[in-house]
């Protein structure tokens, strides 16, 4: 099936000019596979400089839009693992939290100054076990990120432990508490939890593997992602660059998705989440 005239968006992808193919080559591989739009997020660096990768991300998105046929938008944020890495290096919890908050303020500035930087992410809390104080601080940082998203009217992508209905309820209540519409809260990597997303207004970003086949039978209120990390020492982690176009094609071949559904997932949902317009490929 030809995806040439269909909008295909990967909602969570990383590029790395030092350790991977780099921004332009990743975009060209994605485009040649049938991809049209990339939502690119800065990678954690774990070197103590929490804003450097955001600045790199801004330049990478500019390069993709200037030098390739892919339309790219960026999200900037501080990965929750940065907090635990700082703690392991002997930085106090209070100081580490302060550095995370400062970095989120910088992310806010980048969203305000760049039309193609359209949200905050990935932010959240560790997907691994931590002590109670670190967990509490991580939630406080996440709530602060939600305040920023509310203030500048943008979406926010959450990295957290494996999704559950209780977690969706918690994130929804957390967002409403600070005045952020839960519809603007995206849970990255969340199984096939589309019905739970509808119930609590959290927006699922579903990994483009088996879970999406189950999700598409329930609801089209989700977006698709690979979480590709662009590291040549770990090829294809989490999923390869071509996976979203290939999975979309497979869903259509299996008659689980038609062109209208494709536009819903890859264009309409993306435009609604990020307050952007993408080309009408129909």
- Integer Cα distance of 75 and 134 in angstroms: 24
Residue 3 is predicted with a pLDDT of 74
Give the per-residue SS3 of the chain. Answer: CCCCCCCCEEEEECCCCCCCCCHHHHHHHHHHCCCCEEEEECCCCCCCCCCHHHHHHHHHHHHHHHHCCCEEEEEECCCCHHHHHHHHCCCCHHHHHHHHHHHHHHHHHHHHHCCCEEEEEEEECCCCCCCHHHHHHHHHHHHHHHHHHHHHCCEEEEECCCCCHHHHHHHHHHHHHHCCCHHHEEEECCCCCHHHHHHHCCEEEEECCHHHHHHCCCCCCCEEECCECCCCCCCCCCCCCCHHHHHHHHHHHCCCCCHHHHHHHHHHHHHHHHCCCCCCCC
Structure tokens at 88: 């392991």
Residue 217 is predicted with a pLDDT of 96
Strand order in the sheet with 185-188: 9-13, 37-41, 71-76, 117-124, 155-159, 185-188, 203-207, 223-225
Structure tokens at 59: 């330049």
**Residue 18 CB neighbour total at 10 angstroms:** 8
- Integer Cα distance of 243 and 280 in angstroms: 22
The residue extents of the domains of the chain are 9-274
Residue 281 is predicted with a pLDDT of 65
pLDDT per residue of the chain (282 residues) written in tens, 0 to 9: 677 789 999 999 999 999 999 999 999 999 999 999 999 999 999 999 999 999 999 999 999 999 999 999 999 999 999 999 999 999 999 999 999 999 999 999 999 999 999 999 999 999 999 999 999 999 999 999 999 999 999 999 999 999 999 999 999 999 999 999 999 999 999 999 999 999 999 999 999 999 999 999 999 999 999 999 999 999 888 999 999 999 999 999 999 999 999 999 999 999 999 999 998 765
Residue 274 is predicted with a pLDDT of 98
- Integer Cα distance of 55 and 36 in angstroms: 23
Comparing CA positions, the residue from 264, 187, 181, 263 lying closest to residue 219 is 264
- Integer Cα distance of 73 and 56 in angstroms: 13
Query: For residue 92, what are the CA distances in angstroms to 99, 133, 273?
Result: 11, 11, 36
Residue 1 is predicted with a pLDDT of 63
User: 9-274: what fold?
Assistant: TIM Barrel (3.20.20)
Residue 235 is predicted with a pLDDT of 87
In which residue are the tokens 């690979």 written?
A: 226
């Amino acid at each position: 099936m030809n995806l040439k005239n269909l909008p295909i968006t990967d909602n969570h992808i990383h590029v790395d000019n030092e350790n991977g193919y780099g921004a332009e080559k990743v975009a060209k591989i994605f485009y040649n596979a049938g991809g049209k739009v990339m939502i690119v997020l800065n990678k954690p660096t774990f070197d103590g400089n929490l804003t450097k990768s955001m600045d790199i991300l801004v330049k990478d998105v500019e390069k993709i839009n200037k030098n390739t046929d892919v339309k790219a938008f960026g999200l900037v944020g501080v990965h929750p693992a940065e907090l635990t890495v700082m703690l392991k290096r002997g930085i106090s919890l209070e100081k580490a939290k302060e550095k995370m908050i400062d970095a989120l303020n910088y992310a806010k500035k980048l969203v305000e100054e760049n039309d193609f930087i359209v949200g905050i992410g990935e932010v959240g809390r560790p997907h691994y076990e931590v002590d109670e104080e670190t967990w509490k601080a991580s939630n406080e940082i996440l709530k602060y990120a939600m305040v920023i998203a509310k203030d500048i009217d943008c979406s926010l992508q959450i990295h957290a432990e494996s999704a559950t209905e209780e977690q969706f309820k918690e994130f929804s209540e957390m967002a409403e508490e600070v005045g952020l519409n839960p519809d603007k809260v995206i849970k990255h990597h969340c199984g096939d939890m589309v019905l739970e997303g509808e119930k609590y207004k959290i927006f699922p970003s579903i990994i483009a593997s088996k879970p999406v086949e189950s999700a598409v039978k329930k609801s089209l209120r989700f977006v698709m992602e690979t979480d590709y990390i662009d590291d040549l020492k770990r090829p294809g982690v989490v999923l390869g660059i071509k996976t979203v176009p290939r999975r979309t094609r497979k869903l259509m071949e299996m008659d689980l998705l038609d062109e209208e559904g494709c536009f819903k997932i890859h264009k309409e949902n993306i435009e609604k989440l990020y307050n952007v317009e993408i080309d009408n490929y129909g």
